[in-house]
Structure 1
Amino acid sequence: MKPWIYPLLVVIGAACYGILSTIIKLANNDGFTASEAVTGQYYTGFLLALIIYIFTRRGIPTIRGSFPVLLAGVLTAITGTMYGKSVEYMPASLAVVLLFQFTWIGMLYECVATRRLPKKSEVVSLVFLFGGTILAAGLIDADISGIPWQGWAWGLAAAFSFAAFVMANQKPVAGMDIITRLFLMSFYATIAITFLQSPEIVWNGKLSEGLWLYGAILGVFGIVLPIFLFSVGVPKVGVGMSSILSAAELPVAIIASMLLLGERLTPLQFVGIFLVLFGMTLPAMLQRYSLKTRRRLSKSVS
Structure 2
Amino acid sequence: MKYILLVFLGACSYGILSTIVKLAYGQGYSPAEVIGGQMFFGLVLTWIPALFFLRTKPGKKQLLLLVSVGLAIGSTGILYYNALRFIPASIAIVLLFQFTWMGVLAEAIMTKQMPDKPTLLSLVLLLFGTLLAGGIFETDGIAQFHIAGVVLGLLSAVSYTMFLLFSGKAAIGVNPWVRSASMSTGSFLLAGLVYTPVFLWNGALLDGLFPYVFLLAFFGIFIPTVFFNFGVPHTGPGMAAILGAAELPMAVFSSFIILGETVSALQVTGVVVILLGMILPEWLRQRHKRLKSSLS
- TM more than 0.5: yes
For residues 153-199 of structure 1, give each alpha carbon's deviation from its aligned partner in whole angstroms, at most 9, with x where no partner exists. 10010001100111010114264101111111111211111012341
Measured after TM superposition, the shift of residue 267 of structure 1 is 1.1
Partner Cα separation in structure 2 for residue 117 and residue 62 of structure 1: 34
1:169 maps to which of 163, 167, 183: 167
For residues 2-35 of structure 1, give each alpha carbon's deviation from its aligned partner in whole angstroms, at most 9, with x where no partner exists. xx10111000000011111111000001111233
For residues 88-128 of structure 1, give each alpha carbon's deviation from its aligned partner in whole angstroms, at most 9, with x where no partner exists. 11112221111111000001111111111121111110111
Runs of 4+ in 1 over 3 A off after TM superposition: 57-63
Measured after TM superposition, the shift of residue 207 of structure 1 is 1.3
- Alpha carbons of 1:61 and 1:215: their partners in 2 closer, same or farther (altered >3 Å)? farther
User: Residue 70 of structure 2 aligns with which residue?
Assistant: 73
Is it true that 1:57 corresponds to 2:53 in the alignment? Answer: yes
User: Residue 276 of structure 2 aligns with which residue?
Assistant: 278
AA in 1 matched with 2:61? G
User: Residue 153 of structure 1 aligns with which residue?
Assistant: 151
Partner Cα separation in structure 2 for residue 174 and residue 13 of structure 1: 18
Partner Cα separation in structure 2 for residue 175 and residue 124 of structure 1: 34
Partner Cα separation in structure 1 for residue 148 and residue 139 of structure 2: 19
SS in 1 for 2:145: coil
Indicate the percent of aligned positions where both proteins have the same amino acid.
37
- Alpha carbons of 1:57 and 1:235: their partners in 2 closer, same or farther (altered >3 Å)? closer
For residues 37-61 of structure 1, give each alpha carbon's deviation from its aligned partner in whole angstroms, at most 9, with x where no partner exists. 111111011011222233x235694
Alpha-carbon contact 2:47-2:178 (below 8 Å) kept: no
Partner Cα separation in structure 1 for residue 288 and residue 194 of structure 2: 48
AA in 2 matched with 1:242? A
Alpha-carbon contact 1:93-1:257 (below 8 Å) kept: no
User: Residue 226 of structure 1 aligns with which residue?
Assistant: 224
Measured after TM superposition, the shift of residue 262 of structure 1 is 1.8
AA in 2 matched with 1:269? Q
AA in 2 matched with 1:70? V
Partner Cα separation in structure 1 for residue 180 and residue 264 of structure 2: 39
User: Residue 193 of structure 2 aligns with which residue?
Assistant: 195
SS in 2 for 1:62: coil
Unaligned runs of 5+ in 2: none
SS in 2 for 1:138: coil
Alignment of 1:108-257 (within 5 A): 108-143=105-140, 144-173=142-171, 175-257=173-255
Partner Cα separation in structure 1 for residue 114 and residue 136 of structure 2: 30
Alignment of 1:10-49 (within 5 A): 10-49=7-46
- Equivalenced residue count is 294
Alpha-carbon contact 1:17-1:249 (below 8 Å) kept: yes
TM-score of the two chains, using structure 1 as the length reference: 0.93
Unaligned runs of 5+ in 1: none
Q: CA RMSD in A?
A: 1.5
TM-score of the two chains, using structure 2 as the length reference: 0.95
